[in-house]
Structure 1
Amino acid sequence: MAEQRVRWGILSTGAMAATFTADLVDLPDAEVVAVASRTRASAKEFAERFGIPRAYGDWESLARDEDVDVVYVATPHAAHRAAAGLCLAAGRNVLCEKPFTLNAREAGELVALARERGSFLMEAMWMYCNPLVRRMRALVEDGAIGEVRSVQADFGLAGPFPPAHRLRDPAQGGGALLDLGVYPVSFAQLLLGEPSDVAARAVLSDEGVDLQTGALLSYESGALASVHCSLIGGTPNSASVTGSKGRIDVPDGFFSPDRFVLHREGAAPEEFLADPADGPRASLGHEAREVMRALRAGETGSPLVPLDGTLAVMRTLDAIRDRVGVRYPGEEPVEVAAGRQVTPA
């Protein structure tokens, strides 16, 4: 695959799939060859919109299409386990949208299946692939702000979302945490890793999903991370990381920033700007390029979005839901100790 274009299949025809496909068709080394939906009409309409040659009215046909190098799964996240698992079982490589699955148990099943099949698997955590976020992380790892003491991140939408909306539907994995909170949690764990303890509070809807959640993640180093997400209040959507020798502030849209500011003792604030050559701020092309790079290199995972990191984030999300009392239909009870979920053998 080192020289050829990478052939993509798109599983789902919703807004996220459309956004990703629009960015994908702009990449000269990518080719979108097939799309699948639960209905033939939806797949056909999507295919015509983006000039995709094959449209399937079922997921199985896409999973069996041997002309597809990698499938992008963009279904509602309650279906991620089924959709990604179907593709992996058929021998396809997979890029699966965030949150990776509903819970860590499902995530572990997908990772185990990918490793058993020798297939590539990656969570579509575009934030981790963003060049400016990568630069910020490199500065932190190089000691630019000393030892990390705390991380803060928030992601909130003003809403309100009506009870019938998917964000409030337990059957679809609704709630602020999985849709929005995955970003602040992932940001914190990008810099600090998996917490040793989790405390959390939430405001729940009548349907039993979280409308607003705040969590405090504690680390054995003594560091703390404060994360917040909301479906009932528009927040700054900002983040900061404070160390023993300085601080980095990432303003509005920390998950796809156009700038961040480094503050160090005795020095003027230093602003780092996104390189226009990297493309639009909200482009999903960075994660697509990383997938294609890994496939050409024969890798089954990405060092930018490692599967072990994805599993760690899912364990933290499980722990937060355990603390606030959110469980989705059909979920089995899980044993959660501190921030680490113990999955029964």
Structure 2
Amino acid sequence: MTPIRWGIASTGNISGSMATALAGVDGADIVAVGSRTQDTADAFAAEHSIPNAHGSFTALCADPEIDVIYIGSPHHEHHGMTIEALDAGKHVLCEKAFALNRPEAEEMVAAARRNERFLMEAMWSWFMPGWHEVRNRIEADAIGDIVSIDANFAIPIPDPNGRHRRLDMGGGALLDLGIYPLSISRFLLGEPTDVRALGRLTAGGVDAAVAGSLLHESGAVTTFSTSLDGRSDLTARIVGTVGQIEIHAPFWFPSAFTITVDGESERVETPNRGLAHEAEHTMERIRGGHIESDIQTWNATLTNMELMDEIRRQLGVFYPSETGDGFG
């Protein structure tokens, strides 16, 4: 098997997690890391035994040894970095949220098409064996028709100067945390026909707390909540006409779920290798000559971005780079 050669952009926590995951993936070879400064790139390279360290993203993109770049930077940088990497001839696995809004995401997809390079949003939940087993059980009619889904993701992130509370960095609970319950409901029920959201904004204009409901074509209802201020139980519950499934915390990368029918409960343990699942899928698609995932499709990413655009419109959250109604 010819190795797929990876470059990692950014040296934050999620990039460290991806480097650790890739070290355990057959056929993955991390050959370079890029950061804003040479010092941080060198330190990350030393920590993860990466041979090449670049002091800029442009230098990383120019490295001829790299096949695919993992972009783990904050999401307000994803649009420019992804297009630069694709135009440099690299495949790209870009962290969620994929972009700030749908128009940015559309430009990123257009760049992938233009350059005939693979591009995928790193929405790791969609690749977790646990979620695929849950969907298999639902499709086998284990709990009947879905009546409702409820999911919550609230963790305290109080730093007033951190990216989560900075409007200029695409801050707020929705894009960073709320994206998970929204994506999971769509994974099981498809696109919603209606969305209603309420929230509380900080003095700086980012969403500190959001709660809302989605109505799906089947008549099922999703309720979700997310916050930067409190800590929820981080679970998801799927209620059907004859039973229910509880996804144990943390629901977005579960190792177990419990299915209950007629008062009888079954706990199901599922494999969980973290970010390795999406990395393996990326490599499989690249080796197959594909430029799009057949699981986390471009349409899935674009429609989820559009859904979050609408929720932000209802909340009145617009980023400085956005014009007109907020998404032009």
* Alignment-derived partner of residue 157 in structure 1: 155
**Hey, what does 1:51 align to over in structure 2?**
49
Q: Which residue of 2 aligns with 1:299?
A: 290
Q: Partners in 1 of 2:269 and 2:231 — Cα distance?
A: 25
- Give the match for residue 175 of structure 2: 178
Letter in structure 1 aligned against 2:259: L
2:204 corresponds in structure 1 to 207
Q: Does 1:284 align with 2:275?
A: yes
Residues 1:323 and 2:314 are matched in the alignment: yes
Q: Which one of the candidate residues 239, 242, 246 is aligned to 2:243?
A: 246
Kindly state the Cα deviation for residue 332 of structure 1 after the two structures are TM-superposed.
2.3
Question: Which residue of structure 2 aligns with residue 71 of structure 1?
Answer: 69
Q: What secondary structure, in the 3-state scheme, does the structure 2 residue paired with 1:301 have?
A: coil
2:162 partner letter: H
The one-letter amino acid paired with 2:302 is L
Q: Kindly report the root-mean-square deviation, in angstroms, between the aligned alpha carbons of the 2 structures.
A: 1.5
**Which residue of structure 2 aligns with residue 194 of structure 1?**
191
Report the counterpart of residue 340 of structure 1 in structure 2.
Answer: none
> SS of 2:264's equivalent?
coil
| More deviation, 69-78/219-228 | 219-228
Letter in 1 for 2:286: L
Cα distance change on mapping 1:141 and 1:332 into 2, 3 Å? farther
List per-residue Cα deviations over 1:193-237 (Å, max 9, x = no partner): 221111100011010001110011112321111011011110011
SS at match of 1:312: helix
- Superposition deviation, residue 28 in structure 1: 3.1
Amino acid at match of 1:39: T
The whole-number CA distance in structure 2 between the counterparts of 1:334 and 1:143 is 43
Q: Deviations over 1:63-115 (max 9, x none)?
A: 12232111000111100001111101111100000111111111111112112
- Answering whether residue 137 of structure 2 is matched by residue 139 of structure 1, we say yes
Aligned length: 328
- Could you tell me the TM-score, scaled by structure 1's length? 0.91
Task: Normalising by structure 2, report the TM-score.
Answer: 0.96
Deviates more, 1:322-331 or 1:38-47: 38-47
Cα deviation, residue 267, structure 1: 6.3
Return the letter of the residue paired with 1:22.
T
* C-alpha distance in 1 between matches for 2:242 and 2:298: 31
Which aligned runs of 4 or more in structure 1 are off by greater than 6 angstroms?
none
What letter is aligned with 1:72? Y
Q: Is the 8 A contact 1:236 1:251 kept in 2?
A: no
Matches within 5 A, 1:70-149: 70-149=68-147
SS at match of 2:294: coil
Identity of aligned residues (%): 38
Contact 1:321–1:327 at 8 Å: present in 2 too? yes
Paired residue type of 2:58: E
Structure 2 spans left out of the alignment, 5+ residues: none
What SS is found at the alignment partner of 2:238? Answer: strand
* Runs of at least 5 residues in structure 1 that lack an aligned partner in the other structure: 336-342
* Letter paired with 1:93: H
Write out aligned runs for 1:305-316 (5 A): 305-316=296-307
